[in-house]
Amino acid sequence: MSVATTSLADVASSEAALRAFLHGLPGVDRVGADQRAAMLGTRSIKTTAKAQAIDLAISMVDLTTLEGADTAGKVRAMCAKAVHPGGDAPRVAAVCVYPDLVEVAVRALAGTGVKVASVATAFPSGRSSLEVKVSDTALAVAAGADEIDMVIDRGAFLSGRYLKVWQEIAAVKAACGGAHLKVILETGELATYDNVRRASWLAMLAGADFIKTSTGKVAPAATLPVTLIMLEAVRDFRDASGRQVGVKPAGGIRTTKDAIKNLVLVHETAGDDWLSPDWFRLGASSLLNDLLMQRQKLATGRYAGPDYFTLD
Ligand SMILES: O=C[C@H](O)COP(=O)(O)O
């Protein structure tokens, strides 16, 4: 897909310019996207490649707990597992928690290389003022979060107020300082694949370091066609702007099969530059145990059973 590089600098100069740009993006061929994602999802891979893929997937996990009932103890246990998932398995990429638990995770993960990610901006609805969203972000960053996962204002996006969405993302990005910003599109609420493409571009233009599919609180969450469209968007955005943005499917990814399908999509769509935890994450609360079980099965020929591992 070709996008005029010159147009990117001025794209958010007005609501009209932003709308013209986003609605000027080529429409998504829905049937084609569904078929391509389904076809890539059935690719089989050799046993040696599978072992590597499982370890790569583990290293890409954002191990997540986002429940009202979360406690400091639960987060500490999760952090221990994030650093030493089991046997010689690699550590995960990050632990993702609500802002009030950032400090607990920061202390538990100090010096381990596992990042602390936090949802902010009135997650998961995003329904609060910009002031509240910015201060939510600033507090999480001050507590030591390395990464902020913000939600876009879907109400504004769906009613065509793109500039408001752009301004919020840009303000939250500024509040992030050195922390990386992941922008959650909540694709299950965006209604069309064209909207997923537009929201992806909007987030990247406003400064997202990552674009993320979902909060995990809305169904459907991370589907393969949606991830495919977002991978195409980051690929095309890098071609147009020279800046690489990461992708994080999140929500409903529970099995090794799901994880490997995602890795095949990355390889076939955006390319191998994205096949690292720096550029691709899997946001999941209960994927890690299945990855560890399949890893054990490949190494020993038998399953250890879910009770062999600590709970996700
Ligand atoms: O960001 C990650 C999601 O909240 C996790 O969703 P999940 O519980 O469906 O894995």
Is ipTM strictly over 0.90? Answer: yes
Answer whether residue 80 is part of any domain.
yes
Q: Which of 62, 64, 248 to mutate for ligand 1's pocket (most ligand atoms within 8 Å of CB)?
A: 64
Q: Please compute the mean of the pLDDT values over residues 247-270 and round it to a whole number.
A: 96
Q: What pLDDT sits at residue 279?
A: 98
Residue 46 — pLDDT band, cuts 50, 70, 90?
confident
As beta bridge partners, residue 116 has: 95
In a domain? residue 16:
no
41: left (phi over 0), alpha (psi -120 to 50) or beta: alpha
Secondary structure (H, E, C), the chain: CCCCHHHHCCCCCCHHHHHHHHHHCCCCCHHHHHHHHHHHHCCCCCHHHHHHHHHHHHHHEEEECCCCCCCHHHHHHHHHHHHCCCCCCCCCCEEEECHHHHHHHHHHHCCCCCEEEEEECCCCCCCCCHHHHHHHHHHHHHCCCCEEEEECCHHHHHCCCHHHHHHHHHHHHHHHCCCEEEEECCHHHCCCHHHHHHHHHHHHHCCCCEEECCCCCCCCCCCHHHHHHHHHHHHHHHHHHCCCCEEECECCCCCHHHHHHHHHHHHHHCCHHHCCCCCECEEECCCHHHHHHHHHHHHHCCCCCHHHCCCC
In short, whether 285's Cβ falls inside 6 Å of ligand 1 is: yes
pLDDT at 38 over 80: yes
**Nearest atom (ligand 1) to Cα of 284:** 10
The pTM (predicted TM-score) of the whole model is: 0.95
Q: Which of 151, 212, 215 to mutate to test the pocket of ligand 1 (most atoms within 8 A of CB)?
A: 215
Atom 10 in ligand 1: residue holding the nearest Cα: 284
Residue 312 scores a pLDDT above 70 = no
Does residue 249 line the site of ligand 1, with CB under 6 A?
A: no
Q: What is the pLDDT of residue 270?
A: 96
* Residues annotated as part of the active site: 149, 212, 248
- Domain assignment present for residue 13? The answer is no
Question: Is 122 a domain residue?
Answer: yes
Q: How remote is the CA of residue 52 from the centroid of ligand 1, in Å? A: 24
In a domain? residue 58:
yes
Task: Tell me, yes or no, whether 3 lies in a domain.
Answer: no
Q: The domain spanning residue 272 has which CATH number?
A: 3.20.20.70
56 within domain boundaries: yes
Q: Is the pLDDT of residue 91 over 80?
A: yes
Q: Domain for residue 19, yes or no?
A: no
Residue nearest to atom 2 of ligand 1 (CA): 283
**How many structural domains are present in the chain?**
1
The residue segments making up the domain with residue 277 are 36-301
Share of the chain above pLDDT 90, in %: 88
When pLDDT is cut at 50, 70 and 90, the band that residue 1 belongs to is low
